[in-house]
Amino acid sequence: MQGLFCLFLLLTASTVLALNQSSPRCRCLYGDACWPSTSDFSSLQSQISQPLIYPTPTASACYPLSSPSGNCTDIQANWYNGTWRADRPGSMDITNYESFIFRNGSISACYMNTTLGAPCEQGNVPVIGVDARSVGDVQATVKFAVSHNLRVAIKNTGHDFTGRSAARNSFMLWTHHLNNITYNSTFAPEGAPPTETYDAITVGSGVLWNDAYNTVAAEGRMLIGGISVGGSTGAAGGWLQGGGHSTFSPLHGLGVDNVIEIKLVTAAGEYLTANARQHSDLFWALRGGGGGTWGVLISVAYQTHPTFPVTNVFFNATSTNTTVIKRLFTEFVRIHPALSAASFGGYATVTNASLNFFYSLPNGTDARANASFESVFGLARNLTAEGLEIAAQETGTYESFNQWYQNIPATGIVDGGILEIASRLLPTALFAEDEYEAFADKLFTVAGNEIGWNLVGGGAVSKVNPGSTGLNPAWRESLVEAVWGIQWGEGATFSEIERLRSELAVTMAQVSAIVPGAGSYFNEGSLFEPTPKQTYFGSHYDRLKGIKDEYDSTGLFIVGAGVGSDEWVDNLNCRRFD
C-alpha cells in the first residue's frame, strides 16, 4: 500500500510538472532566458509583410541630451497632437501609460521635460512587435506569441485611458495600418438571407473615426462613433468593444448597438466572422465585453444613418458663490430626462465654481434648442444679481453631422497629457421629479475638483434589450456618465502619485455612496476598481467568462480589469494558482 501511495505521489508530481511545462505559469518577458532568439525573430520576419518594429517612448528622440538621437523639435511641436501620436507605435495618448512604476516605487520613464535630468528608459512600452498589414500578418504574430508564451499588447492608436494597449517587456501587435474602408449600401452579413441588407461601412481596425466619417459623409450618411478633436480614436477596436458612446447615442444607440459584423483572429490563430448567425456567442461578447480580451479585430461593419442638421448649445457660467452654482446645477439636472427624450447629447463639467456644457441636438433648430434650455438660461440671468457671471451662451446650427464634427470645440481631455480617471453610470431614476434635488445636492458636494458629465445614455440606448449584447446592463438604465480624474506633472514621485490616487479613490467612494452598485464604463474607468467584475460587466460577467474560456483558454489576451484578469497577478504576467 505504501508503495502504491508513493507511486501515486510520483505520478501526481509528474503530472503537475508536465502541466507546468506545457502551460507555464508566467509569460515570457524580454530579458527572460525564454525570450525568443534572434533566429526565432528572423523566422517570424519571414512570415510577415513588414519589418519588425522596435517601439520607443515618444520623447526618446530627445535623448541622450548631449546628442539627441532624432528630431526633438518635431516631437515638441506635436506632443499634444493625437493623430501624430497614433502614427507612432510607442506613443500612448495618455503619457503616464508609457511609464512603469516598480514595486519599490521607482519609475521607468522617458520625459519630454529633459531638464528633469532623468534618463530616458523604455518604461511600459513594448520592446518589439509586428506592424500588421493583413490577416496573415496577424495570424503569424498570434501563433508566434502562443508558441513562445509571450505577453501580448494589442495596440491601434493608443487612445487609451487605462493603458491596456501597452505592457512592460511585452510583444506588440500593432493594428494601426489595417485601415481599409468599404462603403456598401446593400451590405449582407455572412450567413444571412439575401433579403437582409444594411446601408453599412466596413472599417479595418486601424481606421480613425475622422476617415470613417468623411467616407460616409460623401454618401450623405453618418454613423455612431467616437467624438474627439482630430478623430484620433480607432473606429474598430477598444472603443467598440467597451461599448462605444457618442454625442448621438441618445438618438441611435451606442457603438455596440450599431455593429452588424466583426471579423477577428482568435488566440488559436483562426480567422472568424462573428455576427448574429455565425459565432453569435462571440459576437455577443465582443459588443461590450472589453477590448484586448477576445482576439485581434480585423474589421467591423457598422450600419450608417442619414445625415442631419445639428444644433449646438454652448454655455459657461462661473461664480465665487458656491450656492449660486449649486442652484444652477440643480436646474440643469432637472431638465435631463426631457433633453434625452429630445435626443440631445453632449458633455459638461461641474465644479463648485462653474458649470460648463456643450450639448447638441440632431435635426434641431436654434429656437428648439434655446427653448429646451430656457429654464437654465432664465435662472442664470436671474442669478447674475447674486454673483453669477455668464461667460458664454451660444447657439448655432450646422447643416450636417460631418460639418458639425469638423467644427466641434477642443474640450475635454488633452492628447499627450497625464491622467487617471474613474467613472460611474448615473441611472435615469435619479433624475425623477422626487429624486433629482437630493441627487444633485449630494453629487455637488463631491464636484469641487471637477466632474465630467456626459449625456450619452437614455433615449435609444435605454430601448435596447439589456441581454442582446455583452455590455453591462447598467448602461440600459443610465442617463449620464459621470467622469473624474487626477493629473500630475512629469517627474512626480511615486508618493505624490499615490497621494493623488488616494484622492481619486475617495471621490470614487463618495460617488458610489450616492449611487450604490452603479456600473462604470470599461473604456473610461479605473484600474483600481474595488469590484471590477460587477462594476464593468454586471450580471453578464459569468457568461462572458465562459465565452472567454472557450475562445482563449490559455489567456493570451488579458488586460487590466478585463474578463479573466483576476486569474493573473504580477502586472498580469503570471497566473494565480491560489
Q: Say which residue, 413 or 105, is predicted with more confidence.
A: 105
The domain boundary residue, chosen from 154, 174, 194: 174
Residue 224 in domain: yes
pLDDT over threshold 50, residue 496: yes
Residues 447-462, mean pLDDT to the nearest whole number:
93
Residue 11 in domain: no
Residue 89 in domain: yes
316 with 391: CB under 8 angstroms?
A: yes
What is the CATH number for 209?
3.30.465.10
Cα separation, 150 vs 168, whole angstroms: 12
**159 and 79 together in one domain:** yes
Residue 434 in domain: yes
pLDDT for 69-82, tens place per residue? 899 999 999 999 99
pLDDT over threshold 80, residue 537: yes
Name every residue whose Cβ is closer than 8 Å to that of residue 286 and which is 6 or more positions away in sequence: 240, 241, 259, 262, 264, 274, 294, 297, 470
Cα separation, 223 vs 217, whole angstroms: 9
Residues 513-523, mean pLDDT to the nearest whole number:
96
237 with 179: CB under 8 angstroms?
A: no
State the residue for C-alpha cell 442669478: 383
Residue 351 in domain: yes
pLDDT over threshold 70, residue 175: yes
pLDDT for 1-25, tens place per residue? 444 334 333 333 333 333 334 457 9
pLDDT for 112-124, tens place per residue? 999 999 999 999 9
| Listed residue (288, 289, 286) closest to 300, CA to CA | 286
What pLDDT band is residue 133 in, cutting at 50, 70 and 90? Answer: very high
Rg from Cα positions in the chain: 25
What single-letter DSSP state applies at residue 127? S
pLDDT over threshold 70, residue 159: yes
Cα separation, 121 vs 401, whole angstroms: 43
**479 and 420 together in one domain:** yes
Q: What pLDDT does residue 24 have? A: 76
Please give the model's pTM, rounded to 2 decimal places: 0.94
Number of domain units in the chain:
3
**155 and 191 together in one domain:** no
Residue 29 in domain: no
**102 and 204 together in one domain:** no
Cα separation, 200 vs 350, whole angstroms: 38
**374 and 482 together in one domain:** yes
The domain boundary residue, chosen from 174, 189, 212: 174
**545 and 533 together in one domain:** no
Q: What pLDDT does residue 231 have? A: 79
Residues 157-180, mean pLDDT to the nearest whole number:
96
pLDDT for 416-430, tens place per residue? 999 999 999 999 999
**442 and 390 together in one domain:** yes
Q: What pLDDT does residue 513 have? A: 95
205 with 178: CB under 8 angstroms?
A: yes
Residues 460-467, mean pLDDT to the nearest whole number:
98
Residue 380 in domain: yes
**84 and 105 together in one domain:** yes
The grid coordinates listed for 506 are: 475617495
How much of the chain exceeds pLDDT 70, in percent?
A: 95
**147 and 204 together in one domain:** no
Instruction: Name the H helices within 289-391.
Output: 322-334, 336-341, 366-372, 374-383
**302 and 385 together in one domain:** no
The domain boundary residue, chosen from 174, 202, 226: 174
Residues 179-204, mean pLDDT to the nearest whole number:
97
pLDDT for 282-326, tens place per residue? 999 999 999 999 999 999 999 999 999 999 999 999 999 999 999
How many residues in the chain?
A: 578
**438 and 361 together in one domain:** yes
**546 and 489 together in one domain:** no
What residue numbers bound the domain in which 81 lies?
A: 38-174
Residue 356 in domain: yes
